[in-house]
């Protein structure tokens, strides 16, 4: 975003450079509307004076801002947890009624459109009427399609789509967006923006080994990511860029291993970040943080707990202002050694917003942890409100809130 501002100033800077030193700037009576430059300066001064005396207008509060003021401390904390619901199971009542989870995501393979719609309806019924839950699902194409059968149409893998180009991506992600929107699902936990290291290829288990990446060239991957984000947005579905700052250089899958998940190369200036920058520019609403470790950013700290990765790189350098969520913190081996409460408080301390847990039984512990953390310090409380505000702003953007 800052880059666009700088570019906007460039023409003016170039014009100034063309004026010779000591030379009075020329005026054109036909363009200024006056033959005397002094007259123009007087009019400008008068106009400026009039503008200065004009009372500033205040924008009315948004639906998200109004709702934020009305939420209890537990409701605020609950908004920062997204809970996985496995196919064939029901949403535990307390997840929504007692813990006020911000949303759910559909786990495993759902083949029945009726089952999907019943679960979405149950999530709405179980939530506060004016605070509907966000509904999300992993729907990337290829092997990673949680909706199948009559719940969603088949789409090719990212690897196949990347080989065909952005037009193929647009077609596939339009299909994905249509299917999700038809079921009342507002968020796609896709696309994968990771650039696969060509030296690893299929040995890169989390992405290359599952054909989840669009390719090995950052520019080409960025074009495909842009196409996916824009296609989803056109259907009213928010896109999630994952897994920041990239899993394309690690060997093991963080879901199943705490070893072999270190990327020694990725740093602040890495070209593999360009695909994420492209997705942000295209308007992605969410970014999912990796649980891998990036020593060039912050040694021995998973990216989801790293303020360098979230605040310095993602927020400040790439200009992302949306919702920052974790990869799974419920069953993932990469964070198994981290106490449950710390899995969310460390995210908040690093500048992230919401955790994703594949284990619904952890919901109460996570919400309790946020409530207790917020009560410790006014700055903690403000940090929680800031993240809850991002969640509510996303819901408002998706047309889920009303005044």
pLDDT score, position 27? 39
pLDDT score, position 56? 65
3-state helix, strand, coil in the chain (%, to 5): 50, 15, 35
DSSP string, 293-308: EETTTEEEEEGGG-HI
Nearest to 107, CA basis, from 131, 95, 91, 94: 91
Q: How many Cβ atoms from other residues are within 10 Å of residue 69's Cβ?
A: 8
pLDDT tens digits, 31-52: 333 344 344 444 444 444 455 5
Q: What is the Cα–Cα distance from 233 to 273, expressed in whole angstroms?
A: 22
> Which is more confident, 59 or 17?
59
State the average pLDDT for the chain.
89
Q: What is the Cα–Cα distance from 211 to 157, expressed in whole angstroms?
A: 6
Is residue 355 predicted with pLDDT exceeding 70? yes
Helices (H), 19-145: 29-32, 37-53, 63-70, 73-78, 93-97, 113-126
pLDDT band of 55, cuts 50, 70, 90: low
* Domain residue ranges in the chain: 75-397
pLDDT band of 9, cuts 50, 70, 90: very low
Six-digit token pair at 153?
A: 């149409």
What pTM did the predictor assign?
A: 0.85
Dihedral pair phi/psi, residue 190, rounded to 5°: -165, 160
In the DSSP assignment, the letter for residue 206 is T
Q: What is the Cα–Cα distance from 397 to 13, expressed in whole angstroms?
A: 36
pLDDT score, position 3? 33
Is residue 348 predicted with pLDDT exceeding 70? yes
* Fold (CATH) for 75-397: TIM Barrel (3.20.20)
pLDDT tens digits, 170-212: 999 999 999 999 999 999 999 999 999 999 999 999 999 999 9
Burial class (CB in 10 A: 0-12, 13-18, 19+), 380: middle
């Amino acid at each position: 975003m800052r880059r666009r501002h700088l570019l906007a100033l460039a023409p003016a800077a170039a014009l100034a450079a063309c004026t010779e030193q000591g030379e009075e700037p020329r005026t054109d009576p036909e363009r200024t509307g006056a033959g005397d430059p002094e007259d123009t300066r007087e009019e400008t001064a008068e106009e400026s004076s009039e503008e200065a005396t004009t009372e500033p207008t205040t924008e009315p509060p948004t639906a998200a801002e109004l709702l934020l003021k009305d939420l209890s401390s537990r409701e605020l904390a609950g908004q920062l947890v997204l809970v996985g619901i496995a196919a064939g199971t029901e949403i535990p009542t307390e997840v929504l009624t007692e813990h006020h989870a911000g949303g759910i995501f559909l786990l495993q393979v759902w083949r029945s459109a009726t089952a999907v719609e019943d679960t979405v309806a149950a999530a709405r019924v179980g939530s506060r009427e004016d605070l509907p839950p966000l509904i999300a699902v992993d729907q990337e194409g290829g092997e990673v399609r949680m909706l199948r059968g009559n719940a969603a149409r088949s789409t090719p893998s990212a690897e196949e789509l990347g080989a065909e180009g952005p037009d193929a991506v647009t077609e596939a992600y339009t299909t994905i967006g249509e299917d999700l929107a038809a079921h009342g699902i507002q968020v796609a936990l896709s696309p994968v923006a990771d650039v696969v290291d060509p030296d690893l290829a299929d040995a890169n288990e989390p992405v290359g080994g599952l054909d989840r990446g669009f390719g090995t060239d950052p520019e080409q991957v960025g074009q495909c990511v842009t196409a996916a984000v824009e296609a989803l947005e056109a259907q009213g579905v928010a896109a999630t860029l994952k897994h920041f700052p990239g899993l394309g250089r690690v060997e093991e899958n963080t879901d199943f291993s705490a070893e072999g998940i270190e990327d020694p190369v990725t740093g602040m200036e890495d070209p593999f970040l360009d695909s994420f920058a492209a997705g942000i520019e295209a308007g992605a609403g969410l970014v999912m943080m990796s649980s891998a470790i990036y020593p060039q950013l912050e040694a021995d700290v998973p990216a989801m707990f790293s303020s360098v990765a979230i605040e310095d790189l993602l927020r400040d350098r790439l200009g992302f202002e949306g919702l920052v969520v974790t990869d799974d913190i419920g069953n993932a081996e990469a964070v198994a050694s981290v106490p449950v409460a710390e899995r969310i408080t460390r995210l908040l301390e690093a500048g992230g917003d919401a955790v994703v847990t594949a284990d619904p039984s952890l919901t109460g512990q996570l919400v309790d942890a946020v409530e207790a953390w917020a009560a410790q310090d006014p700055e903690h409380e403000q940090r929680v409100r800031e993240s809850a505000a991002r969640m509510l702003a996303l819901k408002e953007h998706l047309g889920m809130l009303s005044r």
